[in-house]
Structure 1
Amino acid sequence: MLDRGSAEPWLNGGMLERLHPDVRGVITEYGAQVNEVGVLPIRGFYLYGSIAMGGYTPGRSDVDFVAVLDRMLTQAECSRLAAIHGHVASCWPSPEMNGIYVMRDQLGKLPHEISPYPCYYGGQFLEADLFECNLVTWHQLKEQGIALRGSRQELDYAVDWDQLLARMKENVESYWRPWVYESAKPDTRKGMALSERSAVEWGVLGLTRLYYTFRENNITTKAGAGVYALERLPATSHPILIEALRWREGKPTLYRSASERRQDALLYLHEMLAACETAAEEAAGRR
């Protein structure tokens, strides 16, 4: 593993020091490798997501990043980046890096407005994809992004909040509602997966994040959404919310059986679908 000091000519060392040690280790290794190559056209490197929102959870959160390019990457440069990410993952299996490499004029754009770009997620480097090309990504980056290279002043695009809310409402109907209904069938893959704590956390907190946004006109972390719901929803919803938060914290389950937990999760998810629908309509009325 390279010495962390070798990354500092390329990355903002002062900002690095503020990060969780695990995140700092991953980013420092990445920066050292990119700095060693020395010819990659990366003008800006930003963190967003849970790290930028102060909700990083060791063992659960990823390192979400956006790298801004001076020019499009060549195939050879993509190969170098793929090797760099592979090296970093071998040195730091957790947290996992997930991010995109885009031109400045691609920031803030939607899939129908731009061509696919290089990205790294799930342990794979892809030369052309549209991973995380959505208004939530661009809003988080612009409002809360951490600049480790470059300046936040370069994030001079605009995000239409009304359009973001409209797309979130579409997401509830096109993704979450089918996901919940499919998860209610015990003989399907999703139905069986909901017996696992990780799937419960994914569904319960993921849908609750949308509810938070509709209600508060803001974006928060999964954990933040869970705490928000605990403070505002009836006590009958609390056990499954607490369970989802405990999984994120690496704490053991409080449920006596997986079937009981699954039943509570399904009840909560169906109620949250209705709550999101109502909250989305109210949000549209306030605009």
Structure 2
Amino acid sequence: MKREPELVFKVCETYIDLWHKHLPGKLEGFYLHGSIVLGAFEDHSSDLDFVAVTKNPLEEEELQIVKKIHKAIAASYPKPEMDGMYIVWEDFGRRDTFNNAPYPSYNEGQLSFEDRFNPVTWWLLKRKGISLLGPNNSELDIRVTEKDLVEYVLDNMDSYWGKRVEWLEKSKEKLSAFSTAEISGEIEWTVLGLLRQFYTLNEFDIVSKLGAGEYGLAQLPEEWHPIIREAIAIRSGNGEALFGSNEDRIDRLLEFAEYIIGSKKRGDLHEEFK
């Protein structure tokens, strides 16, 4: 079994200590999900994904203290960046909207508010989550189902990924003027991101980006292997470019994205929950 990075637990220990100091008795649960539970955490690129449970909904004055706690954490540990939500026990593992919506969410150094749950979070917590404070996640009522997970991914492919591919197509000429590094970033994000959706729709589970890339190589026709290998090489930080020009890379990226999204529309994927 892969050992969890020591840095993660240093950050979490400091974070929980700051809560005990500045908001004693308020934090009752703290759970990790995301890359850390998928065995894919990288100290300098991964987020620290969390769900924090408070005794009751946070008031404005308490939110200001939470902001200061995160600011202190970021000053001591620039990486990994914390990314998570603050809820109460009655909303833990809910399948629909939260009773106490909107709830505070921390991402990219800012506190904002959300009003719906992400079943991917609950799926990972239910099966692989790490409990650092509060009851073990296996003892909690997490009501996510395969149907929730698949419906979320199908909607995500239609909304986020469909719109993103439309933007890429319309911006094709502009993309050719992007730097090689910028295009590499788009290839990694889009190819591996779509393959994670593809994996979930076929296997009813969650996988890391690199795991999704390997799955794509095993499941998809060889014609798509070069762009997948390119994305894997970018993600892992090694390997040579497999295409002659950035224009070729962009063309293949768009063809691949349309193929994966189109495969869902053609019904090539599992039918159980469509």
Residue 141 to residue 72, structure 1, CA distance change in 2 (3 Å): same
Shift of 1:75: 1.8
Contact 2:19 2:27 in 1 (8 A): no
Give the TM-score, by structure 2 length: 0.87
1:66 is aligned, of 36, 41, 51, to: 51
Q: Which deviations, in whole Å up to 9, do the C-alpha atoms of 1:106-136 show, x marking residues without a partner? A: 122356443111121011123x334x72211
Q: Number of aligned pairs? A: 268
Aligned residue type for 1:259: E
Alignment counterpart, residue 125 of structure 1, candidates 89, 97, 111: 111
1:116 aligns with 2:102: yes
Q: Please state if 1:275 is matched with 2:263.
A: yes
CA contact (8 A) 2:19 2:69 kept: yes
Q: 1:265 aligns with which of 231, 253, 261?
A: 253
Name the residue aligned to 2:123.
139
Q: Choose from 61, 80, 87 the match for 1:76.
A: 61
| Structure 1 stretches of 4+ moved >4 Å | 187-195, 278-281
Q: How far, CA to CA, are the matches of 1:192 and 1:36 in structure 2?
A: 51
Alignment-derived partner of residue 10 in structure 1: none
Which string of whole-angstrom CA distances, capped at 9 and with x for unpartnered residues, describes residues 113-169 of structure 1?
Answer: 43111121011123x334x72211111111211001112245213113213312321
Q: Is the 8 A contact 1:48 1:144 kept in 2?
A: yes
Distance 1:262 1:70 in 2: 49
Counterpart of 1:12 in structure 2 is: none
Question: Aligned partner of 1:82: which letter?
Answer: K
2:272 paired residue number:
284
State the AA in 2 paired with 1:206. Answer: G
Contact 2:48–2:83 (Cα < 8 Å) also in 1: yes
**Worse-matched range after superposition: 161-170 or 205-214:** 161-170
Q: Percent identity?
A: 33
**What TM-score, normalized to structure 1?**
0.83
Give the aligned partner of residue 56 of structure 1.
41
Equivalent-residue separation in structure 2 for 1:40 and 1:92 (angstroms): 24
Query: Residue type of the partner of 2:105?
Result: C
| 1:97 and 2:85 aligned | no
Match of 2:192 among 205, 208, 217: 205
Query: Is the CA contact (8 Å cut-off) linking 1:43 and 1:70 kept in structure 2?
Result: yes
Is there any run of 5+ residues in structure 2 with no aligned partner, and where?
none
Alpha-carbon RMSD across the aligned residues, in angstroms, is: 2.7
Q: Is the 8 A contact 1:47 1:145 kept in 2?
A: yes
Q: Secondary structure at the match of 2:49?
A: strand
Name the SS of the counterpart of 1:147 in structure 2.
strand
